[in-house]
A = this chain, B = another copy of it.
Amino acid sequence: MLEGNSIYIEVGRMSDESVELIERQITDFVRRIVTTEQREGRMERSAYILLRQLSYGPAGVKTLAEHLHLDISTVSRQASALVEKAYVEKLPNPEDKRSYFYRITRLGSEELEGNRRERFERLQEMLDGWTEEEQEMFGRLLARYNRTANERLGL
């Protein structure tokens, strides 16, 4: 196809079928998760994720915010909520009086563990009938997507 003096070649249409399917499925997927978690009164996603992060070791909000890709203020509030529930302790940092460490408590660990198990169970139900390969693949592809997303954000 010729237009002026440039050559127009169809290189694999913009709206590739797979991309279309994925886009659609992602919107559904995300919504489902958000609403499901809201309806079933479990520990909030945010609390769970923060606790999980803290299970790797104590940290201050700044570090946490970086790892979790959230605004510091958001993490600050979420952390306070966890302190309220006694799932974490807030320890002053002796080396720098501005900052604190949040450390998961025994209770918090138990809570986390229970939640984790519950989540795993549900997920396992969802994946009932999937072959081991399919499960692995799903995990790998999601991870890959996330990795790319991280890199893009890094810029």
Contacts and interface: CB of A to CB of B under 8 A. Distances in A.
Q: Which of A29, A128, A134 has the most CB of B within 10 A?
A: A29
A137 to B, nearest CB: 6
A32 B153 CA distance: 10
Contact of A120 (B20, B116, B146): B20
Given A32-B69, A69-B31, A141-B137, A119 B23 contact: yes
Contacts of A135: 16, 18-19, 22
Interface residues of A, number: 58
Interface string A125-155: 1111010101111111111111011001100
Interface stretch (A2-10, A33-41, A89-97, A99-107): A33-41
A149 B137 contact: no
A22 B134 contact: no
Given A23-B120, A127-B145, 12 more contacts: A14-B120, A19-B120, A19-B127, A22-B123, A22-B138, A23-B119, A25-B139, A28-B146, A30-B30, A32-B69, A134-B141, A137-B141
